[in-house]
């Protein structure tokens, strides 16, 4: 057998293997959504929000207890808090795998722009542009029926909420 | 005393604020020996069958709250769209709210597409919502309808799994109803035969399961026509109270008949009363 032919064969084979591995990698990304969802559920949502001195701000956030912070009070609490975020991430990932990197980048730029159209922090914003981009402007879910913030009896303190928004709290 | 200040605008949806408090209360109550109130369930028999021209859905009409019948004639076949109906078993509030939300979503979707909605769309919306809540929404549904692609029947479980089958049963009486289906189902039945089959299946559930009872409701869906037969059959008739005089029920008569007690002697003493003074006072009706 000709040694040159064998060399070519090995090179072709190794290229073939790596390209297969690359394809498999992409497939893993589209199918391994469950692992991605687990990573993207931030447990920091429950941890004490450290104030300026690294300790929880009791005056504004109330007393802290280890049990409250370590475990969610309901198995669905974390998943519901981050549901929209996780849906967006999943959709962007799928879009990236189908249409390439530029498509989700462009869309995320539009989302960022739409998210900036807000009223003052303590007033309700319609988020119409954001809803239209997401496609949720013609869907109804539990967030529209239960605990509608428009019908709530108490209002957030305007000063505190504006200070929080500006980052000076 | 520290007050918790709200820093971000409050979002709608489920609120889990009271879960820890409820868990503590439940533990305390159980220690004392009482039990917390049970949610109203529709321990139910619901079923559906695909026949030649469409779909027949059937349901019983009893809603239970623990061991007590809460509603003797509740309606378990819910409207989703003009050509799609859904029977619901499980927690009554959950099935009611879920079907209403999906009905609204399907209406908006069909307005957006400009077409009659499909059963598969309703199925996918329901399954995605139920999976999102991981089975905490206790709604087991039988979804059936006729669209441009033909008649379809789906069964949807509380955790979000679905089955597309020619005949399905759900609820506590599902085994009794399934026994009837397995015996007598055949493909491409006529309408009368399909209605009789569903009626018999629900009757089997009513008579053999404690959680199902009262009447049988049927819903026959064909292309362009829906027959909502409520009640199709009154399987458990409530008895008529005795002592009905001229059709109106009368409370029990506790007077003894004349002659029950023998009379020994009889004296009559007239009381002579004379009118002393007569005073008429008019009422102020102004």
Residue of A nearest to B104 (CA): A140
Interface mutation vs chain B, best among A78, A138, A160, A167, most B CBs within 10 Å: A138
Mean pLDDT of chain A: 75
Distance CA A164, CA B8 (A): 8
- Chain B residue closest in CA terms to A146: B13
**Nearest chain B CA: its distance from A8 CA (Å):** 51
Give the pLDDT confidence score for residue A24 in this predicted structure: 39
Catalytic hit among B44, B61, B121, B162: B44
CB contact A62 to B (< 8 Å): yes
* Cα–Cα nearest to B99, from B131, B142, B62, B65: B142
Q: Do residues B62 and B213 touch, judged by C-beta distance below 8 A?
A: yes
Q: pLDDT, tens digit, for every residue of B189-201?
A: 999 999 999 999 9
Whether A61 sits inside 8 A of B4 (CB atoms) is: yes
CA–CA gap between residue A45 and residue A68 (Å, rounded): 12
Residue B64: strand, helix, or coil: strand
User: What is residue B149's predicted lDDT score, i.e. its pLDDT?
Assistant: 95
Over the range B218-249, which residues count as b (16 or more CB within 10 Å of their CB) and which as e? Answer: bbbbbeeebeebeebbebbeeeeeeeeeeeee
- Tracing tokens 């059936």 back to the chain, one arrives at B144
The residue of A49, A74, A127, A131 whose CB has the most chain B CBs within 10 angstroms, and thus the best one to mutate to test that interface, is: A74
Residue A28 has what pLDDT? 37
Which stretches in chain A have pLDDT values below 70? Answer: 1-52
pLDDT digits (tens, 9 = 90+) for B147-157: 999 999 999 99
| A136 in contact with B, Cβ within 8 Å | no
pLDDT in tens, A24-73: 333 333 434 444 444 444 455 566 566 667 777 777 777 777 777 777 88
Contact B7 A161 (CB under 8 A): yes
Q: Which residues of A touch B136 (CB under 8 A)?
A: 75-76
User: Is B98 among the residues known to form the active site?
Assistant: no
Closest alpha carbon to B186 in B53, B75, B49: B49
Q: Which residue of A has its CA nearest to B22?
A: A73
| Partner-chain contact B8 A121, CB within 8 Å | yes
Please list the ranges in chain B whose pLDDT falls under 70. 1-5, 42, 241-252
Q: Is the peptide bond before B256 cis (omega within 30 degrees of 0)?
A: no
| pLDDT for position A72 | 81
């Amino acid at each position: 057998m000709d040694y040159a032919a064998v060399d070519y064969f090995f090179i072709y084979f190794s290229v073939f293997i790596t390209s297969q591995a690359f394809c498999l990698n992409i497939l893993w990304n589209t199918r391994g959504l469950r692992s991605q969802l687990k990573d993207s559920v931030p447990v920091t949502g429950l941890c004490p929000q450290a104030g300026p001195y690294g300790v929880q701000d009791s005056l504004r956030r109330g007393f802290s207890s280890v049990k409250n912070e370590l475990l969610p009070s309901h198995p669905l609490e974390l998943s519901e808090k981050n549901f929209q975020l996780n849906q967006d991430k999943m959709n962007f990932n799928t879009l990236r795998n189908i249409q390439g990197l530029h498509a989700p980048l462009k869309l995320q730029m539009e989302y960022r722009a739409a998210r900036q159209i807000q009223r003052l922090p303590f007033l309700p914003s319609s988020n119409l542009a954001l809803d239209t981009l997401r496609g949720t402007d013609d869907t109804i879910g539990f967030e529209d029926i239960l605990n509608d913030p428009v019908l709530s009896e108490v209002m957030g303190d305007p000063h505190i909420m504006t200070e929080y928004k500006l980052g000076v709290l | 005393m520290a007050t918790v200040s709200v820093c971000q605008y409050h979002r709608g949806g489920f609120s889990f604020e009271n879960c820890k408090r409820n868990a503590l209360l439940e533990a305390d109550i159980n220690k004392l020996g009482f039990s917390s109130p049970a949610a109203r369930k529709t321990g139910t028999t619901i079923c559906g069958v695909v026949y030649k021209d469409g779909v027949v859905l059937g349901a019983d009409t009893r809603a239970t709250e623990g061991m007590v019948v809460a509603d003797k004639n509740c309606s378990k076949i819910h409207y989703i769209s003009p050509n799609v109906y859904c029977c619901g078993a499980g927690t009554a509030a959950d099935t009611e709210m879920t079907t209403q939300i999906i009905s609204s979503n399907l209406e908006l979707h069909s307005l957006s597409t400009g077409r009659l909605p499909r059963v598969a769309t309703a199925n996918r919306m329901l399954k995605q919502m139920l999976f999102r809540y991981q089975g905490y929404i206790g709604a087991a549904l039988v979804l059936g309808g006729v669209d441009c692609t033909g008649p379809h029947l789906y069964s949807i479980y509380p955790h979000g799994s679905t089955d597309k089958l020619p005949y399905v049963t759900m609820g506590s009486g599902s085994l009794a109803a399934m026994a009837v289906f397995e015996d007598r189902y055949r493909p491409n039945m006529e309408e009368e035969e399909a209605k009789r089959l569903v009626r018999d299946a629900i009757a089997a559930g009513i008579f053999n399961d404690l959680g199902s009872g009262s009447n049988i409701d049927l819903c026959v869906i064909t292309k362009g026509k829906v027959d909502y037969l409520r009640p199709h059959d009154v399987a458990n008739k409530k008895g008529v109270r005795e002592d009905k005089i001229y059709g109106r029920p009368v409370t029990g008569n506790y007077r003894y008949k004349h002659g029950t007690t023998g009379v020994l002697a009889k004296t009559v003493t007239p009381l002579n009363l004379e009118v002393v003074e007569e005073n008429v006072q008019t009422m102020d009706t102004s």
